Amino acid sequence: MHESPIALRLLATVAIGLVVGAERERRKQQPNHWVPAGIRTFALTALLGGVAAYGGIAAVIAGAVLVNIHMLVARLRGATEEQGITTEVALLATYALGAFAQQSPLVALGAGLVVSLLLASRERVHKAATELLTTTELIDVLTLAVAAIVVLPLFPNEAVEPLGVINPYRLAKVAVTMMAITGAGYVAERWLGPRHGLSVAGLASGFVSSSATIGAMGAKVKEDPATLAPAAAGAAASSVATFVQMSIVVGMANPALLRQLTWPLVAGGATALVVALVLALRARKSPPIEQRTHRAFSVRAAVLFAGLIGVVLVISALLARWLGEGGALFGFAVGALADAHAAGAAVASLAQAGGITPQAGVLGVMLAVSTNSITKIVIAFAAGTRKFALWVASGVALALVATWVAWWIARASG
């Protein structure tokens, strides 16, 4: 209570009451809406909290009791069973913010604005909770929040012996990041709608597994040849996700290594994006794809992804110890046949831990992208029609060539 003059703090207190009360006053004027407090009551309640703050904790508690008594009496006099207690809770929050404003007036005023915004957004908030979000999606949002805020900090942020390459916190962070990225892709798919069909779905699912996405798109084309263009666009878009997620996982584990790989990854991702856009333009005349609601992300897939990184890390560290950097690079290349992101994260982590040189780390990521591209091409031919496979394989090959050309140019100029 010492940085701002008392008058300014009390002025901020009254402002909080006016901001929150103004919204309740508007609500009060609507037909069939009984509200026990308007703008004056809110302003006076906030001021009561501000004045009580100078009387110590006992005065604050006494004031809170008075506010609760007022709300109880008002409800007994005028409320009906159908009406909620939003105004009462808002009034109590205004009292608390009035008291808090004597400590941090700007923070309290900001919180008051948030309260007013929530009250004014009643219809939108209710619609989001009951119509826009399904029960499954709400569970996914809460799961991600618990994973990021509650579970993640529980992991120790230090390397585990004897190899010293496994950091539980970093692996858990990779799993949470994958859940968040996949969830973001799902939101984009829902937001853009079915008009963009398989292209958006391919980009979203590519963050989980581009190879699996290509296989699913190929199977769809075999089942319905009319979906050739949109399915090929979705398969190509999944390769864009490969380069984006590779950049994210490498940057999380080893920012210095990402700086050396910036141009190769940008070149490969940009080429894959151009291919996806060209195919998406060809797909514009295709019949619209039905949009289905599904899980925003898979916790199991995220945990398995982090576990795969750990396995590749351990195997590569052992190969590096027994056979040198060449053995480690071989391990990365083999691991990337299944998942390029996991192998890339393992390369970056091992380079960060000093298990291999930065130059070997760069080459390891390049090899991971290359061997994973081979997997994509094989899956395209195995799962889809010949035309689908040729379109997808051409896009994958172009992106890979662009990646290596950019690497060679960066190496020659550096």
- Tell me the pLDDT tens digit for each residue of 279-313: 888 777 655 555 555 676 677 767 776 776 667 66
Amino acid found at 345: A
Q: Are residues 393 and 358 in contact, defined by beta-carbon separation less than 8 angstroms?
A: no
Q: Once rounded to an integer, what is the mean pLDDT over residues 24-30?
A: 70
Largest pairwise CA distance in the chain: 83
Q: Are residues 323 and 253 in the same domain?
A: yes
Amino acid found at 273: L
Q: Are residues 80 and 34 in contact, defined by beta-carbon separation less than 8 angstroms?
A: yes
pLDDT value at 64 more than 80 = yes
Q: Are residues 264 and 397 in the same domain?
A: yes
Amino acid found at 187: V
- Residue 117 in 3-state DSSP? helix
The answer to which of 195-204, 240-249, 264-273 has the lowest mean pLDDT is 195-204
| 159-166 own/partner pairs: CB under 8 Å, 24+ apart | 159/353, 163/314, 163/317, 163/318, 164/353, 165/313, 165/314, 165/317, 165/349, 165/350, 165/353, 165/355, 166/310, 166/313, 166/314
The DSSP symbol for 132 reads I
Residue at 1 is within a domain: no
Any residues with CB less than 8 A from the CB of 151 and at least 6 apart, and which? Answer: 172, 176
Residue at 317 is within a domain: yes
pLDDT value at 102 more than 70 = yes
pLDDT bucket at 77, cuts 50 / 70 / 90: low
Among 83-87, 120-124, 146-150, 187-191, top mean pLDDT goes to 146-150
Q: Are residues 162 and 291 in the same domain?
A: yes
| Residue listed under structure tokens 């409320």 | 79
Residue at 248 is within a domain: yes
Number of domains in the chain: 2
pLDDT value at 402 more than 70 = yes
Q: Once rounded to an integer, what is the mean pLDDT over residues 331-358?
A: 72
Residue at 110 is within a domain: yes
* Residue 263, pLDDT score: 92
pLDDT bucket at 168, cuts 50 / 70 / 90: confident
Domain stop point among 96, 128, 160: 128
Q: Are residues 143 and 123 in the same domain?
A: no
* Residue 194, pLDDT score: 46
Q: Which domain holds residue 10?
A: 6-128
* Residue 186, pLDDT score: 66
Q: Are residues 162 and 32 in the same domain?
A: no
Using alpha carbons, select from 275, 280, 218 the residue that is nearest to residue 401: 275
Using alpha carbons, select from 242, 232, 263 the residue that is nearest to residue 395: 232
* Better-predicted residue by pLDDT, 270 or 33: 270
Q: Are residues 2 and 29 in contact, defined by beta-carbon separation less than 8 angstroms?
A: no
51-72 burial, b for 16+ CB within 10 Å, e for fewer?
bbbeeeeebbeebbeebeebbe
Q: Once rounded to an integer, what is the mean pLDDT over residues 189-217?
A: 70
* Residue 324, pLDDT score: 63
Q: Are residues 59 and 75 in the same domain?
A: yes
Q: Are residues 49 and 176 in the same domain?
A: no
* Residue 131, pLDDT score: 61
Q: Are residues 145 and 118 in the same domain?
A: no
* Residue 149, pLDDT score: 87
Q: Are residues 250 and 182 in the same domain?
A: yes
Residue at 151 is within a domain: yes
Task: Write down the pTM of the prediction.
Answer: 0.55
Query: What is the radius of gyration, based on Cα positions, of the chain?
Result: 29
Q: Which two tokens stand for residue 179?
A: 């859940």
Residue at 202 is within a domain: yes
Domain stop point among 128, 149, 172: 128
Among 29-33, 142-146, 346-350, top mean pLDDT goes to 142-146
pLDDT value at 73 more than 80 = no
Q: Are residues 193 and 73 in the same domain?
A: no
Among 150-159, 177-186, 270-279, top mean pLDDT goes to 270-279
Q: Where are the alpha helices (DSSP H) in 101-167?
A: 105-120, 122-127, 135-146
pLDDT value at 145 more than 60 = yes
* Better-predicted residue by pLDDT, 217 or 317: 217
pLDDT value at 399 more than 90 = yes
Residue at 263 is within a domain: yes
Residue at 310 is within a domain: yes
Query: What percent of the chain stands above pLDDT 70?
Result: 72
Q: Are residues 111 and 248 in the same domain?
A: no
Report the Cα 27 to chain-centroid distance in Å. 35
Q: Are residues 244 and 180 in contact, defined by beta-carbon separation less than 8 angstroms?
A: no
Domain stop point among 128, 155, 178: 128
Q: Are residues 371 and 399 in the same domain?
A: yes
